[in-house]
Structures are given as structure tokens and as C-alpha cells.
Chains A and B, each alone.
Chain A
Amino acid sequence: MSRIEQFQYDNKIVRAFGMASFIWSLVGMLVGLILAFDLIFPQLNLSESGIPYFTFGRLRPLHTNAVIFAFVGNGIFMGIYYSLQRLLKTRMFSDKLSWIHFWSWQVVILLAAYTLPMGFTTSSEYAELPWPVDLLITLVWVVFGINMFGTIIKRRESHIYVAIWFYIATWVTVAVLHIVRSFELPYSLFGSYTLFSGVQDALVQWWYGHNAVAFFLTTPYLGIMYYFMPKAANRPVYSYKLSIIHFWALIFIYIWAGPHHLLYSSLPDWVQSLGTVFSIMLIAPSWGGMLNGLLTLRGAWDRVRQDPVLKFMVVAVSAYGMATFEGPMLSVKSINAISHFTDWTIAHVHVGALGWNGFLTFGVLYWLWPRMYRTTLYSVKMANIHFWLGSLGIAFYAIPMYWAGWTQAMMWKEFTPEGTLVWGNFLDTVTQLIPLYAIRALGGTLFFVGTVVGVYNLFKTAAQGNFLANEAAEAPAREIGPATFTKGEYWHRWIEGRPMQMLLWSTLLISVGGIVQIIPMAFMESQVPKIASVKPYTPLELTGRDLYIREGCVGCHSQQVRPFRSETERYGEYSKSGEYIYDRPFLWGSKRTGPDLWREGGNKRTDSWHYNHMLDPTSTSPGSIMPSYAALLETDLDLSELPAKIGALRTLGTPYPEGFENEAIANAQAQAREVAKRLAEQDIKDQGIENKEIVALIAYLQRLGTDIKVEAAAKK
């Protein structure tokens, strides 16, 4: 027998991540609440007075990043750092790396909190952070990886438990996703253009975006569930076989499902269909986790009534089950045609985020805090209040959003018998939803108040307790080398004794889907039929496009007309993939709080209309909830980065002629004067308007989706 070794678990790092998680949860949810109220009271955007930093467009990515990467991210690390040490019977590989990991992750979050309101964004959802931050994230991930695999290598357990399988898959997949999504060419300190353009960029984006949900919000939390739920319930895991099958099936299938975010878009049909079928096949593997969690509670259900920890966990796992059934349903084309671009999606993601991630995090925190502080929970009653506020909050959030999504989709699609749109004025479909937005804001407030109660409870628990920074433990030493495998053991035990093989196989499995979908799209020209009349943006339009990105217009306006009668009647010809080949990044969007803008160009509305609309949206569209963009009329147009931008784009493949960067500024100024002249003809006679940002934005909007109209005109 090997000798017994003494060692200590590091609780301090767990506490640090835990505190970061619940503190950031308050910030992330507060920003979410502000956004919810923005939609009811547009004045709250504060932009009428010329402050550009707090508009819906700029704060929306801050909300999503804060919730995903700050709240859930720190929650993941809390769960992993606690469970990994105990499951492997060792302290973390290196305390120093643990703390580098902790602080650099908080720096990433602070940088996000600075860059996003400042308007530095790549506009790729959940990957909005500018390239230097991307580099820092890569560094953090490497540090985390070394620390985790170092710990695995020096483990005292011969086999690794299912939770750790999920941690390994999480680590490698997030690494792959982050690196590929960050293929971009910088042109300034915070500015860059994506390697892929148009439809390819869209595919890469939703391969990334969908799997950020899969491998940042789901797999690590399944791992956490597999540790904390049996612990809290003191019951054995229901089925080891189920763990095995659903783990491998989940990580293999999940990665294929990204294109379901692009149904009925310009993405080729075959990729869309793959997205649909793999989403449907995902139901069972996803539910495997829910089943194994809920069935583990067999024999402990009586305790679920009393123990707030289990209560939170049960609702979390149920919410997971609901969201992972709804997701595949939303991936069916006929349902997606209704749900997509509406608030239905918003409801769906919040069932996941508030229910699954939110409740599981607090379940774990309520279990962890008393243990690390060697005391009992300060107030069970308070935890119950938190539970009910949270549950009601989810209901009051999700139900009006489902209602809103359905309502809006039906209004978009309704025709009179004579063939005109009943709600031809898009605005009518927005103002209709405002009461529902108000109920949603109430739901958000309930959830937020619940969280405040929860955080207070945790602080009081800490105050009455006595923190155990280093927890003594002992375990027999492990012989170096892979675990022995005897015949007759279940086959999967073999790989459980070989974590590096597990890493290797996971990497292979999660690569397949991405390779099959992305490689043909990126390298086969036939996948994106060229359209001769589609030309690169002029320097001024390009500048306007970057302003559009800076302001986060994509948060509310799509640029993708789907092949539906209701959309071509409303907006114009449906989008073709060849139209987007110079779009770096693509700006198709995922939500239409406002109308689609892809066919906005070509003087559908006059320049003066856009001018007035940016100054005060309600002047041209009464009842509009769009924020004012008054600052665009005042801020000087900065063209200094244009040569670098043109150079970067040419490197990536946009056919600007050699030496065009030297003419770019003059070219932009000339076009700006033309816009100013047109504005003057339409009674907008501001002095020096040709030097303001508004002209660039107008030039871009008037260009949108017009290139194929040119072709149509030429044919005549």
C-alpha cells in the first residue's frame, strides 16, 4: 500500500472567484435592468444631451459580457477550483498561477467595462472585445489550462470523475473557439477587421456564438452540477453509463448546431439543414445531464422541500431541461421563421441564463459559503425569499417575452386580403410590445432584488463564520503512470485513467463539426456565388460602417432580409450571399427591435430624414424607442485611420487598388461634401456638417444593399 500523504486544499482562491461571481452578477444584472428600462423610457439612454456612452447599443454587449464572462465565468472557476482539488485529492498545481488567473480575468472584465461603453467593439456577439483583450483572454486561458492540467497530472486519484471530463472538454473547446473567432487583422490599438467576411464570417460567428453557450454556459456547469448536486443531496450519481454516453454525444453534436442561428439567411441551405438536424439530435444528449441530475435526487426529494441548496439546483436543472428542449424546437425552420429576430429568443436565453446558470451558481454558493466559513447559512428564510423572488422573476421575465415574440412575429407577417401588410409601419409592431417590456422589467427587477438578498445573506454568513483558508486533507499517494486497467472493467475506465488521451479525443470530436461546415464555406467559391455589381465600400461609407459598429446598431437592426413574402414586401429583395463579400465583420444581427436595414440604401429615405431621425428619432417616427444620436451631429469625423483601414482590408482580400490608401482621405472628404450638399438642398444647412460623423453614417446607410439594384438597372 502506498503511504498516506498530507496536504491542504486552497479555499482562498475559491472564495475569490465566488465573490467575484456574485459581485459581477449584480453589475451584469443591473446593466440588464437599465437596458430593460431603456426600451420603455428611451430618455434613459441619456444620449439626447450628447452623452454617447450609455445607449442601448453600447450597453447591450456590456450586459451579455458581464453575465457570461464575469458572473458565469467566475462561477465556473469557483466551481472548478473547489471541485478539482477535491476530486483529484491534491492542491491546485500552482497558487501563483491561480492568482494570476484570478486577477488577469478580472482585468479582462474591467477592460470590457471600459472598451464597450467607449464604443470599441468587433460587433461579433459574445466576442465583442477588441483584439488586445482577445490576446489577454488567450493568455488567461493558457494559464488556466496549465494550472488545471498540472493539477490533473499531480493527482492522487487514479481515475478522473465525470465532472472533470466536462472541465477538459470545456477548456479545449473554448480555446479553439476563441482562437478561430479572433482571427482578425488590427489596424489600430482597438480596431481590427475579421479574417472572414460576409456569409463565412456569419458562419464562424455562430459556430462560435452557439458554442460559447454550449461550452461556457453549459458543459462547465454540467461538470459543476455533477460535483455539487450529489454532494448536496448526499446521493450517488444515478447512472455512470448515462454520464459516459451523454458526455461524448453532447460534445460531439453540440459543435454542429451553430447554423441554426442562420436559418433562412443567405447561408447555403445544406449548412442550415446541418444546423437543424444536429440541434434535434442534441435533445437527448442534453437531457442526459438533466436526467442524471434529477434521478440522482431519488430518495432525497423530501429534502428538496427544506434545503434551499437543493431547491435552487432542482429549478436550475429543470430550467436547463426546458431550455435544451426549446432550443432544438427553435431550430426547426417553420418555428424559427416565427421566433427568429423576435423577443422569443430573448426569453429563451434568459430561461437558460437566469434559471440554469443563475440558480445553479447560487445553489453552489449557498452550499459552499457555510462550509468554507465553518458555519451555517446566516438565514434559510432569506435564501427561501431569494428562491421565490428569483423564480417569480424568471416567470415575469420569460412569459411576457414569449408573448412579445409571438405578437411581433404575427404582426410582421399579417397581410390584408388585398395583399398589403396590415402593420406596414414597423413602428406599430414595436409600440405594441411596450407594455410587455414593462412587465419584463418588473421580472428583471424581482430577480435582481432576489440576488441582492442572496448576496447579503452570503456576506452575513461570512461575517458570522471563520474562514478556513487552507483545508487539511490526506490521501494515499498515487503511482506515477497511467492507471492500471484490468480485463472485465468497464471499457471507459481505461480512458478515465488517461486524462491526456481524454483531452486528445475531446479535441478531435469537437473539431469535426466545425471542419465540415467551415472549410467548404471558406475555400469553395461555389458556396458564395459572386455578383459582379457588388463593389467594396467607399472610404466614407467604410467610416460610416465603423460608426454603425461603434454605436452597436446591430443590437437592434438586422441586415438580412429573409426569403419571406412578409419581408420582401416590407424591405425589398431578399438577401443574397454574394452581396456581403466585403462585409468585415458581417452585420446580420440577431434581433429586430427596429426594422431590418439591408435595403435601406438608395434614397429609400432622404439624407435629411436620416439627419432628423438621428437627432431625434421621434421627429420622424413618433413613438420610436430608438435612442437619440445627437452626438453624431456634433462630433468631428475622424478620417485619420482610413489609410490603415484600407491597407488592412486589402491584405484581407478586398480589391482596393494599390496606393488607394493615399487617396482615401481625400476621397472620403469629397464624398462628405456631396452628402453635405444634398443635405443643404433639403434644408439642413448646419455649418461644417461635412466634417461631422453624421455624413459618414448617412453615406453608409444610403449604400446599404444597393449594389444589386445597380445590376438590375444595368440589365434594363
Chain B
Amino acid sequence: MKSLKYLLTLVVMLSVAGSAWSQVADAAAAPAADPTGEFARIMTWVLGAIGALLFIVAMAYVVRVNQFLYKRVLTLEAQRNGVNLPDDVASLQPKEDDFWTKMRKKYWENPVPIEREADIDLHHDYDGIRELDNSLPPWWVNLFIVTIIWSAIYMFYYHFGGSGPSSSEEYKMDMEKAKKEIAIASAGSANMVDENSVTLLTDAAVVAQGETIYTSNCAACHGQALEGGIGPNLTDQNWIHGGGIKNVFKTIKVGVPDKGMVAWEKTLRASDIQKVASFILSKQGTNPPNAKAPQGDIWKDEAAAPAADTTATKPAATGAESK
């Protein structure tokens, strides 16, 4: 009777736990469409499963503690009142080694109680230190065995016949995946501006964003007020690699490695480069203090189209020639 009730409780809890954790796992897995999605999803499931398992174990434990306390209370009350225990309660008295105890001793822990310690004293005496002959904790032995099996599988999977990818194969797969994702993400996006299609932005808010980018990335070499420093002055009319939004955009994007100008295309998005180039050009003629002497040729901002064409067809040469 009673055991049936407990079994029923356990089944209900199991289903509650299972559904709750699978929902959590689902929720966590859903937005995981990012590059590490596959791994994250698997990990989430594994975590979900472990969590559910732990929950069930904890609940089972609570049930057992509850059962035990219930018996204790009944027994104590019976003793106090001098009444005989009802039969079904008496039958619940823990027998020596019931199923759970046996399982526990076999797979979890099996210490000899402190009271019976003398039975397993090995009578070693090292400067007063004694040693007991407790058996190895079964869970510890099992853990050791599981790690050894795991290791064997691991070595097989990656090296002896399994299909585990090598580090460089993993890298290749990752790069191919990224390529596809970038293609999807970039399709028709505003970030696809390049040196041919770029236009000068004049919206004050956007130029202000450009200023923020400038301050954290460019000011170190070109000065807080664009007056120049390690790099040239950006406020005068002279440009080493060509002025105008298209040339400035391109210089920022691909850099001038020989002269220390960093290629920013890997660091800044195209739209950010456009913003910072627009900001720089908004500062033309501001004459900041301590300005560096002009370098390069005076750039005449003629109709932008022809200049852009030259840059587009002869990328590297333009800079060198203008110098």
C-alpha cells in the first residue's frame, strides 16, 4: 500500500522534473543559433539531463527522509503512550540491509561505523598514528573506472579509428561555417559599404559616433584634436594618400603597413570606418594648436567620382605617387 503511494509520488515528480528541465533546456537552446550553437546545444542538454537527475535524486532523498521521520514520530508516540505499534508501521522498521542500503553500500559508500572501528584497526602504529581497514569508497572506485573508460573512448575517437577531428580540421570547419554565416549576415546590409560606394555622412549624431571611435582608436597617433603626432595632421588640406571620403575610407581600411598605419578592416566594421572617416573630414581646417607640419599634397575636393575611380583601379599606387 504505502510503497505504492511512494512509487506514485516518485513518478509524478519524475515527470514534473523531466518536463521542467527539458523546458529550461529548450529555452536555453533556442537562441543558440550562433557559431558555437551546436556545442552549446549539446552542453545545454547534458546540463539539463544532469540537473534533472540531481533533482530526482534529491527528491527521492527527501521522500526517504520523510519516511524515516514519519516512522520515528510514530514510534516515539507509541512508546510514550505505551501503545503497541500498528502492524503496517512496525513492518516499516528498517531491516538490516534493505534494497537501498545494499545499493548504497555497493555503489556509493561503505564505511564501518565509528563504534565498530576497533574491528578494522590494522594495529599499525606510526608515532601513534593508527590505520583503519575501511574499503575503498565504492563511488570513488566507480569514478576512477568511468574516467578510465572515458579516456579510452576519447583516444579511440580522436586517434585510433574514430572520426574525431584534429585541431586543424576543427579550425577549417569553423572557418567555413563562419564564411557562410558572414555571407548571410552581410547580404544587403549597410555594413557593406566599401571605398567605391562610401559617402560622406554629415548627420551630427553619426559624426559624434565617429568621434567616439576616433578617440579610442586613432587619437593615440593622430592627436586628440587631429593635430598629428606619430601620424600626420588630419585637419589640414594636405593628404599623403589622398583626401576625400573615398580615399580616407580606404586608407583607414587597408592601412599603410610600411609607415605604421594600421589596417583597421579587421577591427572596425565598414560602417564604423565610414563614420570615423566622416568625422575626420568634418574637422577640416580647424587649425588645432600644436599642429604637425603639413605632409603630402594639397587635396582638391573636386567632383569625387574620378578620384574614386583611380583609387579603385590602382589601389596601392595612388599613395606612392601622391607622395
Contacts and interface: CB of A to CB of B under 8 A. Distances in A.
Interface of A: 83, 86-87, 89, 157, 159, 161, 227, 230-231, 236-243, 245, 249, 264, 269-270, 272-274, 276-278, 280-281, 283-285, 287-288, 291, 295, 298-299, 334, 415-421, 424-425, 428, 563-565, 568-570, 574, 603-606, 608-609, 612, 618-622, 682
Contact of A87 (B126, B133, B144): B126
Contacts of A565: 35, 171, 174-175, 178
B140 interface: yes
Contact of A285 (B144, B167, B175): B144
A359 B178 CA distance: 48
B121 A273 contact: no
A87 B155 contact: no
B142 to A, nearest CB: 9
Given A86-B127, A418-B189, A605-B262, A298 B220 contact: no
Contacts of A270: 159
A420 B266 contact: yes
Contacts of B230: 608-609, 612, 619-620
A563 B171 contact: yes
A418 B121 CA distance: 69
A603 B132 contact: no
Contact of B221 (A278, A283, A428, A620): A620
Interface string B157-189: 011000000111011001100100110011001
- Among A161, A236, A274, A682, the most chain B Cβ lie within 10 Å of the Cβ of A236
A448 B129 CA distance: 34
Given A421-B266, A620-B230, 18 more contacts: A87-B126, A238-B132, A240-B131, A240-B133, A242-B137, A245-B136, A280-B150, A284-B143, A284-B147, A287-B143, A295-B134, A419-B185, A420-B265, A420-B267, A424-B267, A425-B217, A565-B178, A605-B262
B129 A227 contact: yes
Given A87-B126, A240-B132, A277-B151, A415 B178 contact: yes
Contacts of A283: 143-144, 147
A603 B269 contact: no
Contacts of A606: 258-260
B122 A269 contact: no
Contacts of B121: 236
Contacts of A621: 220
Given A415-B35, A620-B221, A298 B114 contact: yes
Given A242-B137, A421-B267, A608-B230, A157 B126 contact: yes
A682 B129 contact: no
Nearest to B257: A603
Contacts of A421: 266-267
B148 interface: yes
Contacts of B129: 161, 227, 230-231, 236-237
30 contacts: A89-B127, A161-B124, A231-B127, A238-B134, A239-B137, A240-B131, A241-B136, A269-B167, A273-B159, A276-B154, A277-B151, A280-B150, A280-B154, A281-B148, A284-B144, A287-B143, A288-B140, A415-B178, A416-B191, A418-B270, A419-B182, A425-B217, A563-B170, A569-B266, A605-B262, A606-B260, A608-B260, A618-B220, A619-B220, A620-B221
A620 B131 CA distance: 65
B127 A87 contact: yes
Interface string B73-91: 0000000000000000000
The 3 closest A-B pairs by CB, nearest first: A424-B267, A606-B260, A417-B185
Nearest to B144: A284
A418 B154 contact: no
Interface in B185-228: 185-186, 189, 191, 216-217, 219-221
Contacts of B168: 563
Contacts of B285: none
Contact of B130 (A237, A291, A619, A620): A237
B65 to A, nearest CB: 20
B167 A604 contact: no
Contacts of B270: 418
Interface of B: 35, 39, 111, 114, 117, 121-122, 124, 126-137, 140-141, 143-144, 147-148, 150-151, 154-155, 158-159, 166-168, 170-171, 174-175, 178, 181-182, 185-186, 189, 191, 216-217, 219-221, 230, 257-260, 262, 264-270
A241 B133 contact: yes
A290 to B, nearest CB: 10
Contacts of A281: 144, 147-148, 151
Contacts of B158: 269, 273
A619 B266 CA distance: 22
A424 B266 CA distance: 7
Nearest to A334: B39
Contacts of B262: 605
A574 B137 contact: no
A83 B178 CA distance: 60
A415 B219 CA distance: 24
Contacts of A236: 117, 121, 129-132
A298 B147 CA distance: 28
A239 B216 contact: no
Contacts of B189: 418
B131 A237 contact: yes
Contacts of A273: 154-155, 158-159
A609 B260 contact: yes
Contacts of A605: 260, 262
Nearest to A229: B129
Contacts of B220: 618-622
A389 B189 CA distance: 55
B167 A264 contact: yes
Nearest to B114: A299
Contacts of B181: 417, 419
Contacts of A278: 151
Contacts of A285: 144
Contacts of B39: 334
Contacts of B117: 236
A456 B124 CA distance: 38
Contact of A239 (B135, B167, B170, B268): B135
Tell me which of A157, A243, A264, A269 has the highest count of chain B C-beta atoms within 10 A of its own C-beta. A269
B178 A298 contact: no
A570 B266 contact: yes
A398 B128 CA distance: 38
Nearest to B145: A284
A240 B122 contact: yes
A574 B175 CA distance: 13
A294 to B, nearest CB: 11
A83 B129 CA distance: 11
B218 to A, nearest CB: 10
B167 to A, nearest CB: 5
A239 B135 CA distance: 7
Contacts of B185: 417-419
Contacts of A618: 220
B129 to A, nearest CB: 5
A418 B264 CA distance: 14
Nearest to B137: A291
Contacts of A425: 216-217, 267
B128 A231 contact: yes
B250 to A, nearest CB: 17
The listed residue with most B CB atoms (<10 A of its CB), out of A280, A288, A418, A682, is: A418
Most A CB within 10 A of own CB, among B128, B147, B150, B219: B147
Given A237-B131, A270-B159, A417-B181, A564 B171 contact: yes
A120 B131 CA distance: 49
Contact of B182 (A272, A287, A417, A564): A417
A298 B154 CA distance: 38
Contacts of A570: 266
Nearest to B184: A417
Contacts of B257: 603-604
Contacts of A227: 127, 129
Nearest to A163: B126
